[in-house]
A and B are shown apart, each in its own frame.
Chain A
Amino acid sequence: MALLSLQNISKSYTEGSTTVQALKQASLEVAAGELVAIIGPSGSGKSTLLSIAGALLQPTEGTVTINGQDLGNLSPKKLASFRLHELGFILQTSNLIPYLNVLDQLLLVKKMDSRVTKADKAHAKQLLTELGLSDKFKKMPNELSGGERQRVAIARAFMNNSTVILADEPTASLDSKRAFEVVQLLAKEAKERQKAAIMVTHDERMLPLCDHVYRMEDGVLTKEA
């Protein structure tokens, strides 16, 4: 069963007197344990699609279903809570909170909801260890390398046991070796934890690590592999 399903999504913006069609009837499904890549040139509508899948933007047409829940039926207030519980975000660089250490970055996600329990702490430590950060728990973001920061962001995305992981250019500022490592870890975590992961990227070298590849061009989404 697909954890994330986008059906016939269209999105248009009005810019002055003209209407820009950013997405045209895009459909996409991601099953548990899969990592799906969306590639395409900038301005093609990749980010718009990701924003819609991430409940940050409302589609003009079409339905988004995550873990069986139709997002169209949720109020804006419920959407924040839905994002917190069902979605994990991995964004481009500098998305860590500068004044929190690595462990606190993960615990913050729990704080947003309620109190942090011992089990949460153990879970956070385990995630960080799996991502090769066992000796960095108390480090601040500015003491980490770019690759390490992105790994913290991956751990944070998995912290809440979210159903769907959305990655927006997670390798944008990394050299190819580190980029490869980061995507590998993302694929591995998605598989092991049976989550649905989507990654928007420019980087064609990462595609062999993905289960499916979609290409986006001028708002039209086509499945490649």
Chain B
Amino acid sequence: MFLAFKELKHAKLRYAMMTAIIVLIAWLVFILSGLGNGLSTLSAATLKNINAEYVVYEETAGATFAKSILSEDIMEDLKKQKDIEDVAAFGASTISVGKTTSKDADDKEDVALIGLEPDAFVMPTVIEGEKLSLSNKKGVVINDTLKKAGYKIGDKLHVSNSNLKVEVIGFVKGETFNHLPAMFAVPETWRSYQYAAPGSDNGLKKPVQAFFLKAPNLEPEKLDKSIDDIETVTKSKAVNGMPGYTAENGTIMMMLAFCIVISAFIIAVFFYVITMQKTQQFGVMKAIGASNGFIARAIVAQVAILSVVGILIGILLTYATALVFPEGMPFNLDPVLVTTYAIVLLIIALLSSIISVRQIVKIDPLTALGRVE
């Protein structure tokens, strides 16, 4: 640490520039992680919030809600299974609502209409107003982000391209689905929109799209065999089946991976070049009697100091940037994720210093005498 600090203080510009690079990379990594997290929340927050282990789809639906249609009658069969503790029917549609019948797009909001039984175990907690109830079939609870668009309790909403009308009776928090704020309604209301066209329900009685299962010990293959025409998948597979979810996540993860690999190379090359420049100096130290470890520790300490400082500044900048991002931007900094990426960056930086350490080991103290052979 002695050598590391003294040298950092001596060559301020050189190491400040290096730190600046680490800051920029860390900043980019954290912003990407925030964006990725924000997007995936927007895409599937409702699904992720649900405390269920498995989701049952129609066998041919490929684990996507929109392609799946099942009769609610299956619910009774599911409930009879001994491994299943609870079952909730689920259906979702993308709709557009407005407070008036105006056709102007600015007066409407796109929302995800989700049909759930009021007493279903997957029903989110209402933070304001009343819960759904079967006695008021037109009542809906909506995500609180819609407050910003001017929606409040008691508002009567017209659903576009339908004669359905609903009334806001409560708010939930952090519920988004398919990148849209969620609007929860009783299944009957949802059905009256989704299957309004005659014959669109495939002749099924009380159609729904999927069932959520609370069943920690379930063996999904057995369940699929015991009931016809269903496919049971884990919740994480259901999340991945959300439209665009894997594509979005994959893009962000690829950028993150590139950033981290680039940072590893930049740090490795920078310190490698610096080590090469100081070959003579390290030779002198070795001639005097410095061990490889003594010199290597100085380099690793420098990498550690620069990385920690750079990453911390990167985190501060990220939180500062988050303040100026526009409100609606899907940006969600998760402290756990930020810490994880900070640690990953630090470990990568330290690993990349190994190349310089190897170089140090190779330096022959004879170089100190200047005129070997």
List chain B residues, Cβ under 8 A from A50: 369
1/0 contact string of B76-87 vs chain A (CB within 8 Å) = 000000000000
Q: With contacts A84-B289, A109-B289 known, is A89 near B366, CB below 8 A?
A: no
Complex CA distance for A123 and B143, rounded to whole angstroms: 74
Candidate in B285, B288, B291, B294 with the most chain A CB atoms within 10 angstroms: B288
The verdict on B358 contacting chain A, using a C-beta distance below 8 Å, is: no
List chain B residues, Cβ under 8 A from A108: 2-3, 285
B365–A56 contact, CB under 8 A? yes
Complex CA distance for A42 and B290, rounded to whole angstroms: 29
A95–B291 contact, CB under 8 A? no
User: Which residue of the partner chain, among A42, A91, A160, contacts B284 with CB atoms under 8 Å?
Assistant: A91
B290–A84 contact, CB under 8 A? yes
User: Which residue of the partner chain, among A56, A57, A94, A104, contacts B6 with CB atoms under 8 Å?
Assistant: A104
Min CB gap A40→B, angstroms: 13
A81–B10 contact, CB under 8 A? no
Q: With contacts A95-B284, A99-B9, A104-B6 known, is A47 near B289, CB below 8 A?
A: no
Within residues 283 to 313 of chain B, which ones have a CB less than 8 A from any CB in chain A?
284-292, 294
Min CB gap A173→B, angstroms: 12
User: Which residue of the partner chain, among A51, A57, A83, A94, contacts B288 with CB atoms under 8 Å?
Assistant: A83
List chain A residues, Cβ under 8 A from B10: 98-99
Q: With contacts A13-B373, A47-B372, A95-B368 known, is A54 near B287, CB below 8 A?
A: yes
Within residues 349 to 369 of chain B, which ones have a CB less than 8 A from any CB in chain A?
364-366, 368-369
Count, chain B residues at interface, CB 8 A? 28
B288–A112 contact, CB under 8 A? yes
Within residues 152 to 168 of chain A, which ones have a CB less than 8 A from any CB in chain B?
156, 160, 168
User: Which residue of the partner chain, among B6, B287, B364, contacts A83 with CB atoms under 8 Å?
Assistant: B287
List chain A residues, Cβ under 8 A from B366: 51, 56-57
Min CB gap B150→A, angstroms: 63
Min CB gap B4→A, angstroms: 10
Min CB gap B241→A, angstroms: 58
The verdict on A193 contacting chain B, using a C-beta distance below 8 Å, is: no
The verdict on A223 contacting chain B, using a C-beta distance below 8 Å, is: no
B373–A109 contact, CB under 8 A? no
1/0 contact string of A97-117 vs chain B (CB within 8 Å) = 111100010001101110000
User: Which residue of the partner chain, among A13, A51, A57, A99, contacts B7 with CB atoms under 8 Å?
Assistant: A99
The verdict on B11 contacting chain A, using a C-beta distance below 8 Å, is: yes
Q: With contacts A98-B281, A111-B2 known, is A89 near B373, CB below 8 A?
A: no
List chain B residues, Cβ under 8 A from A95: 284, 368
Min CB gap A84→B, angstroms: 3
List chain A residues, Cβ under 8 A from B287: 54, 56, 83, 89, 91
A83–B289 contact, CB under 8 A? yes
B286's closest neighbor in chain A, by CB?
A80
The verdict on A92 contacting chain B, using a C-beta distance below 8 Å, is: yes
User: Which residue of the partner chain, among B292, B365, B371, contacts A47 with CB atoms under 8 Å?
Assistant: B371
List chain A residues, Cβ under 8 A from B326: none
Complex CA distance for A94 and B284, rounded to whole angstroms: 10
Min CB gap B356→A, angstroms: 17
A112–B7 contact, CB under 8 A? no
List chain B residues, Cβ under 8 A from A160: 289
Within residues 268 to 294 of chain B, which ones have a CB less than 8 A from any CB in chain A?
280-281, 284-292, 294
1/0 contact string of A42-61 vs chain B (CB within 8 Å) = 10000100110010110000
B366's closest neighbor in chain A, by CB?
A56
Complex CA distance for A77 and B286, rounded to whole angstroms: 11
1/0 contact string of B9-27 vs chain A (CB within 8 Å) = 1110000000000000000
The verdict on B370 contacting chain A, using a C-beta distance below 8 Å, is: yes
User: Which residue of the partner chain, among B6, B9, B291, B369, contacts A80 with CB atoms under 8 Å?
Assistant: B291
Min CB gap B279→A, angstroms: 13
Chain B positions within 8 Å of A, measured between CB atoms, are 2-3, 6-7, 9-11, 280-281, 284-292, 294, 364-366, 368-373
Chain A positions within 8 Å of B, measured between CB atoms, are 13, 42, 47, 50-51, 54, 56-57, 77, 80-85, 87, 89, 91-92, 94-95, 97-100, 104, 108-109, 111-113, 156, 160, 168
Q: A77-B291, A92-B369, A104-B6 are in contact. List 16 more A-B contacts (CB 8 A).
A: A51-B366, A51-B372, A54-B287, A56-B364, A56-B365, A56-B368, A80-B286, A81-B291, A83-B288, A83-B289, A83-B365, A91-B284, A91-B368, A97-B281, A97-B284, A156-B288
